[in-house]
Amino acid sequence: MLTKRIIACLDVRGGRVVKGIQFVDIVDAGDPAELAHRHAAAGADEIVLLDITATHEGRGTLLDTVKRTAASLFVPFTVGGGIRSAEDAAAVFDAGADKVSINSSAIARPELIGEIGSSFGAQAVIVAIDARRGEHGVEDAEVYVSGGRKATGLRVVDWAREAEQRGAGEILLTSMDTDGMRNGFDCELTRRVSEAVQIPVIASGGAGSAAHFAEVFKAGKADAALAASIFHFGITDSRALKAEVAAAGVPMRLPC
Amino acid sequence: MIAVIDYKAGNLTSVVKALRHLGADDIVVTQKPEDVLRADKIVLPGVGHFQSTQLLADLGLTQATREAVAKGTPFLGICVGLQWLYVGSTEAPETAGLGHFSGQCERFPAVFEGAELKSPHVGWNSLENVREDSRLLAGVTPGSFVYYTHSWRAPVSPDTAAATLYGGAFTAAVERDNVMGVQFHPEKSAETGLRVLKNFLAL
């Protein structure tokens, strides 16, 4: 049976893993390569490394960090941040990434989705969407770019559909409203996006307990869920988390 | 020497990295038929479109593979590399596969047993009906999880070494004598995947 994925996310700045609350207030959480391996060994189904400052500071992705992290990692490994062209993506793949996650650059130039997909396959392209609910709540949830700094005027569901049509392999949906709060994912928004597209949707933002994961898989219809802060400070490890989520009736990769 | 065939379909870094991790140090990433013919083992990775396998015929690699496997060289196809071992795929009907295994690769149905089926099939799914005589899957317990990402799949046949269930059963691994393939990504399937690659290297 196809299981739901638990993805450990490493937000990286300046070669260190950091974690913010609602995209600001950064605290240091360690070395990316070391944490990635620890997560994989602890049962994470996948690792995502996001260079969270790459876009607005105009830096390229930290290829050395990627290389070091990928060296002996044998679960899927995604890298995002500062990927603006098919060449940027190629360098990241060359360093050992399996997928790239593109966000602001896909909004700026949607053709980029297809360009990367045609060389490396659709499965290698994740379109990340940072979303915030609007005046009318989930109905007019809007896409934000540049690390959540700029509103685009695009509706989340519309952009998710377009990304799929342009050849995205997965959608990584982060709710800026719930991010870092540990009060649970935005299940309603996740469900709307998941029902609007055929491709897998990864829910992100707000993980605080196993119950939150179970909820976003069931009510939110997410195919995968991502968390960063929940793991880094020893709150839980993936194996313990997965056992709890499985006990709530969600198929998980266990033992792992 | 292990020949890893590069036909410009996706990135080979992960596969090569995993093989090296398991101790294979004589790896040649190649597009040359002569490398395929002199190799001790052949690996055909691949993600992406079935059409990209057309390059194999164009470069003479199809013929070289045919000759190599006929003289007993172990061959492992991964993902699209497995699909290429069949007659063809509806993804690119004009592109012929090797035809070593009968049957045609087809897309997952949009609806299965009345429910909508998401495609691509992405994530960790379990291996079922693992054939006990499989050399590739030696030591792999039924129910073990492996990582998939694909929209086309090969049918189950007597050569199937393990199946996975998603929109019905499809071939997760195929094996007849020295010719083998896996639809999943062993290089991304943690311990189970490394076991499969190790088994192949030990042939």
The predicted structure's pLDDT at residue A54: 59
Question: Could you tell me the CATH number of the domain that includes residue A190?
Answer: 3.20.20.70
In a domain, A252, yes or no: no
**Among the ranges given (A106-115, A175-184, A235-244, B60-69), the one the predictor scored with the smallest mean pLDDT:** A235-244
In a domain, A253, yes or no: no
Identify whether the C-beta of residue B166 lies closer than 8 Å to the C-beta of residue B121.
yes
Q: How many domains, chain A? A: 1
Q: How far apart are CA A37 and CA B195, in angstroms?
A: 18
Residue A16: pLDDT band by 50, 70, 90 thresholds? confident
In a domain, A256, yes or no: no
Residue type at B187 in one-letter notation: E
Nearest residue in chain B measured CA to CA from A117: B48
In a domain, A40, yes or no: yes
Residues in chain A: 256
Q: Which residues of B touch A170 (CB under 8 A)?
A: 122
In a domain, A161, yes or no: yes
Nearest residue in chain A measured CA to CA from B165: A1
Identify whether the C-beta of residue A74 lies closer than 8 Å to the C-beta of residue B190.
yes
The domain of A169 spans 5-247
ipTM surpassing 0.90: yes
The secondary structure of residue B129, as a DSSP letter, is: S
- Tell me if A2 and B193 make a contact (CB, 8 A cut-off): no
The predicted structure's pLDDT at residue A246: 97
- Contact of B176 with chain A, judged by CB distance below 8 Å, is answered with no
The predicted structure's pLDDT at residue B12: 87
A190's tokens? 């996740």
In a domain, A255, yes or no: no
Residue type at B168 in one-letter notation: G
Q: How far apart are CA A79 and CA A61, in angstroms?
A: 8
- Count CB-CB contacts under 10 A for residue A14: 12
- Contact of B126 with chain A, judged by CB distance below 8 Å, is answered with yes
Kindly report, residue by residue over B80-106, the tens digit of the pLDDT.
Answer: 999 999 999 999 999 999 999 999 999
Identify whether the C-beta of residue A201 lies closer than 8 Å to the C-beta of residue A5.
no
Block residue for tokens 């049976």:
A1
- Tell me if A75 and B188 make a contact (CB, 8 A cut-off): yes
Interface test with A, best of B20, B83, B124 (most A CBs within 10 A): B124
- Count CB-CB contacts under 10 A for residue A18: 19
The secondary structure of residue A21, as a DSSP letter, is: E
How big is the A-B interface in CB pairs under 8 Å? 90
Would you call A28 a catalytic residue per the annotation? no
State the catalytic residue, choosing from A45, A130, A177, A186.
A130
**Among the ranges given (A7-11, A196-200, B181-185), the one the predictor scored with the smallest mean pLDDT:** A7-11
The predicted structure's pLDDT at residue A146: 81
Q: Which domains does chain B have, with CATH numbers?
A: 2-201 (3.40.50.880)
B137's tokens? 């899957």
Residues in chain B: 203
Q: What's the rounded mean pLDDT across residues B130-143? A: 98
Block residue for tokens 């060296």:
A71
Kindly report, residue by residue over A78-101, the tens digit of the pLDDT.
Answer: 999 889 999 999 989 989 999 999
